[in-house]
Structure 1
Amino acid sequence: MLLDKDIREPLFEFLEERYGKVRILEEKTVGSSRADVVMVIPDKIVGIEIKSDADTYTRLERQVADYDLYFDQNIVVVGSTHASHVAEHVPDYWGIISVEEYDTGSKSDVGENADVNMGGKAIGGGTTDPSDKVTHKIDFYVVREMQTNPKADILRTIRILWRPELAHIQETYSLPMYKGKSKDFVRTLIVDRLPAEIVHHEISEILFERDYAAMIKQIQEFRKAQAAKRGKTVRKKKKRYRRKKRDA
């Protein structure tokens, strides 16, 4: 039985082989759900939900609704126990990938008729060597290709970007900076002023280049500057209040 932890790393290798230029992000909050995997490919953000053999469909309906709001396309990756009926639980524009595990044989299976192999006696092509373990391989099968998500909301998709990344788009396309405005205001500005294909492209390119350490530092500096501004405003108000009190 394959568990989530057994599937992830082989899945990432499969996605890189299949889609070429990709960046993998894990465990991202989308609405009231948490996306197992977010795959960044050129001009698209793909949500990937993993349902291992140990998982159930209990939360899938809610997850589908949340994924559909945030991602351009979606895929459900399922263990073999779900492969025959998962299509009943996701929209027809969701991609489906099935995960299969099989034995590749023992190390002694290099010579079926060998009398001695790996230091042990072969019996019917096998060996008594205790180190001769059966190995396993995981394969992925595309049951259904992913298609464009008709419910995707670009205002939701762009929420994956951080404030400095939004500012980068504003600067690149000479949009007003509005430094005192909220992130929601800035997101709406970008989506309203730029063609959708440009916004999609910028989101993907920024995520491809995202440097988490540098970005966290920028965010901390931004918050520190904002806190300093708020502190000055509070102090000024207090001084004005005290002066009025003395004049009275």
Structure 2
Amino acid sequence: MNDRDIRAALRVHLESTTERGAIIRDELGLCLGDTRVDIAVIGGTLAGFEIKSDRDRLDRLPGQIDRYSRVLDFATLVCGPRHQTKASTLLPSWWGIWVAEEQDGAITFQPMRDASRNPAPDPYTVAQLLWRDEAMAALRERDLHRGMSSATRFRLWERMADTMSITDIQQTVHAAIMARPDWQVCS
């Protein structure tokens, strides 16, 4: 059972259990593409699933934890049985852990710990999920756009982080992603 096998089974599982209208996206870039979530589910929240098969090493996991924790509302590590003990010592308590097991040729997922809401997302890093025009529209809707017409996306994200609550930023990001015409919605 490798990463590709787990990913395919996880995607099928998420498609059958995710609320209608949500987006399931492979390889969602976070932190300006510095890292990618294996599978993201975007709807009313942003949930990310990181896959570590028994063939993988966990040496990149601490950096992934740091970056995912800046952005995601919910995060879950989906790992092979070999990693479950070590992973539970590395992950923050709000992260979920699912163990992927192969039985009779099928991969199943056993929740070891359910994910809970991220207690401290970073407003600026969450805002980075917005395209420049989406960030400008969000500021314009709130009459926070004055003096920003030629500002870079970095300055727009900064203005959002300085003037909007994290909840408003998250809701804005989720709505913008859901409205992107080329991103597939679950039916």
Query: TM-score band, normalised by the shorter chain?
Result: 0.7 to 0.9
- Aligned match of 1:24: 24
TM-score by length of 1: 0.65
- Aligned match of 1:50: 51
**Two-structure CA RMSD over aligned residues (Å):** 2.2
- Aligned match of 1:159: 128
Amino acid of the structure 2 residue aligned with 1:100: E
Report % sequence identity: 26
Paired with 1:3 and 1:199, the residues of 2 have a C-alpha distance of 36
- Aligned match of 2:181: 211
Task: Say if 1:96 and 1:146, in contact at 8 Å, map to a contact too.
Answer: yes
| Per-residue deviation, 1:33 | 3.1
Unaligned stretches of 5+ in structure 1?
104-135, 214-248
- Aligned match of 1:141: 110
| Per-residue deviation, 1:154 | 1.7
Amino acid of the structure 1 residue aligned with 2:43: I
1:183-241 Cα distance to aligned partner (Å, 9 max, x none): 1211122233333322211211111221249xxxxxxxxxxxxxxxxxxxxxxxxxxxx
Match of 1:173 among 138, 142, 156: 142
Paired with 1:139 and 1:7, the residues of 2 have a C-alpha distance of 9
Amino acid of the structure 1 residue aligned with 2:132: R
| Per-residue deviation, 1:57 | 0.9
- Aligned match of 1:33: 35
Residue correspondences, number: 179
1:95-144 Cα distance to aligned partner (Å, 9 max, x none): 111111111xxxxxxxxxxxxxxxxxxxxxxxxxxxxxxxx212112211
- Aligned match of 2:76: 75
Task: Say if 1:94 and 1:147, in contact at 8 Å, map to a contact too.
Answer: yes
Q: Indicate the SS of the match to 2:75.
A: strand
**Given the alignment of the two structures, is residue 7 of structure 1 paired with residue 9 of structure 2, yes or no?**
no
Amino acid of the structure 2 residue aligned with 1:35: V
| Per-residue deviation, 1:84 | 4.0
Amino acid of the structure 2 residue aligned with 1:23: I
Q: Indicate the SS of the match to 1:82.
A: helix
Name which structure has the greater RCO, CA cutoff 8 Å, separation 6+: 2
Amino acid of the structure 1 residue aligned with 2:168: I
- Aligned match of 1:188: 158
Task: Say if 2:124 and 2:160, in contact at 8 Å, map to a contact too.
Answer: no
Higher radius of gyration, 1 or 2: 1
Unaligned stretches of 5+ in structure 2?
none
